[in-house]
């Protein structure tokens, strides 16, 4: 039985008759071994759709036969980057050129169950974003990526104050209006999905997680575990500071305050003198606390975007 997650408490959705026409956006960089099969499966799945749709493939500066394969097809819109600009940059290009109100993003490598797209689109009638969460019964995921992913998800849940079954799934449906709101802060890298997850949750949009399977990719992975993990951590910190400054700064301020109390106790009862260390910790605590409060006030008083 599928487990259902609904998080957040506000929706930007229209009424039940909201248009569910959608644009499928696929970033492609050196995917000559998987792109054709992916597109064939998509067309087979979507041709019976009750809604209008288009498939947009963004060729992100591929140096193999990906561009040649795409240009030979007449059933998809192909957008070209002259050089490799990144996964997020390709998605942003596709979103800007999409003509329908819903955006579906998926990968070109065959890892996601694209046959589930019509189901995810139907769920978007009652959510601002529907995420295919890789927690299904058939999930093939690299063990070396599970450890850093576990820590990143826990920190993201701390920032957003909501459960996150899958932080950076690459199969999701979202409203174009929601995506456009955050385009200027979304990165050009693989952190795109992580950022939009945190951005929508901290902005109180309705996000629905639907369990899906996840398969071995066709071709070679573009993710570099160490480099991309460090980028993800940096990205989560930056996004957390942007959308939930108190959640990031307040724990650090508490650490400085506890350090101040400890050194103050030692100064009073052991050293019988007020040391510079105590003063530095006190100043650091007050400044960080005031900065956190000011950032939180600015965040609450503005729309930010």
Look at the chain and report how many structural domains it folds into.
Answer: 2
Where a domain ends, among 242, 257, 274? 242
Check whether 3 has a pLDDT greater than 60.
Answer: no
293 pLDDT band (50/70/90 cuts)? confident
Instruction: Judge if 113 and 23 occupy the same domain.
Output: yes
146-205 pLDDT tens trace: 667 788 888 889 888 899 999 999 999 999 999 999 998 898 988 899 989 999 998 899
Look-up of token digits 């140096």:
63
What span, in angstroms and rounded, lies between the C-alpha atoms of 56 and 22? 11
For residue 172, the SS3 value is strand
What's the CATH code of the domain at 31? 3.90.550.10
H or E element, residue 299: helix 276-301
CA atoms within 13 A on the CB side of 263: 15
The residue range of the domain holding 261 is 245-301
In a shared domain, residues 250 and 163: no
- 3-state class (DSSP) for residue 94: helix
Asked if residue 185 and residue 88 are part of one domain, the reply reads yes
Asked whether residue 287 falls in the same domain as residue 151, the answer is: no
Question: Do 170 and 290 have their domain in common?
Answer: no
Residue 257 and residue 209 share a domain: no
What does the alpha-carbon distance between residue 271 and residue 185 come to, in Å, rounded to a whole number? Answer: 50
| Tens digits of residue pLDDT in 103-134 | 999 999 889 999 999 999 999 999 999 999 99
Residues 112 and 190 in one domain: yes
Per the CB < 8 A criterion, the answer to whether 27 and 34 are in contact is no
Whole-structure pTM value: 0.78
Q: In this predicted structure, what is the pLDDT of residue 212?
A: 95
Across residues 273-289, what is the average pLDDT? 89
For 252-275, what is each residue's pLDDT tens digit? 889 999 999 999 999 888 888 888
Domain C-terminal end among 219, 242, 265? 242
């Amino acid at each position: 039985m599928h487990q259902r997650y609904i998080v957040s408490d506000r929706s930007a959705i229209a009424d039940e008759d909201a248009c569910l026409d959608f644009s499928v956006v696929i970033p492609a960089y050196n995917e000559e071994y998987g792109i054709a099969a992916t597109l064939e499966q998509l067309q087979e799945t979507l041709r019976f759709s009750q809604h209008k749709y288009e498939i947009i493939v963004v060729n992100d500066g591929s140096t193999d036969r990906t561009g040649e394969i795409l240009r030979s097809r007449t059933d998809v819109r192909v957008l070209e980057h002259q050089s490799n600009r990144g996964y997020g940059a390709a998605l942003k290009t596709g979103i800007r050129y999409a003509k329908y109100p819903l955006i579906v993003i998926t990968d070109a490598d065959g890892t996601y169950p694209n046959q589930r797209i019509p189901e995810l689109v139907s769920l978007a009638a009652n959510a601002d974003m529907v995420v295919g969460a890789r927690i299904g019964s058939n999930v093939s995921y690299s063990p070396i990526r599970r450890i850093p992913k576990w820590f990143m998800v826990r920190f993201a849940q701390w920032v957003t104050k909501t459960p996150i079954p899958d932080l950076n799934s690459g199969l999701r449906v979202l409203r174009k209006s929601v995506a456009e709101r955050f385009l200027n802060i979304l990165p050009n890298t693989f952190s795109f999905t992580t950022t939009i997850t945190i951005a929508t949750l901290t902005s109180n949009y309705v996000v629905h997680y639907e369990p899906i399977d996840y398969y071995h990719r066709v071709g070679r992975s573009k993710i570099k575990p160490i480099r991309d993990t460090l980028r993800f951590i940096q990205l989560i910190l930056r996004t957390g500071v942007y959308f939930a400054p108190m959640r990031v700064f307040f724990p650090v301020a508490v650490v400085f305050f506890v350090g101040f109390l400890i050194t103050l106790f030692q100064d009073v009862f052991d050293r019988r003198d007020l040391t510079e260390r105590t003063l530095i910790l006190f100043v650091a605590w007050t400044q960080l606390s005031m900065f956190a409060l000011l950032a939180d006030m600015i965040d609450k008083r503005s729309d930010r975007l």
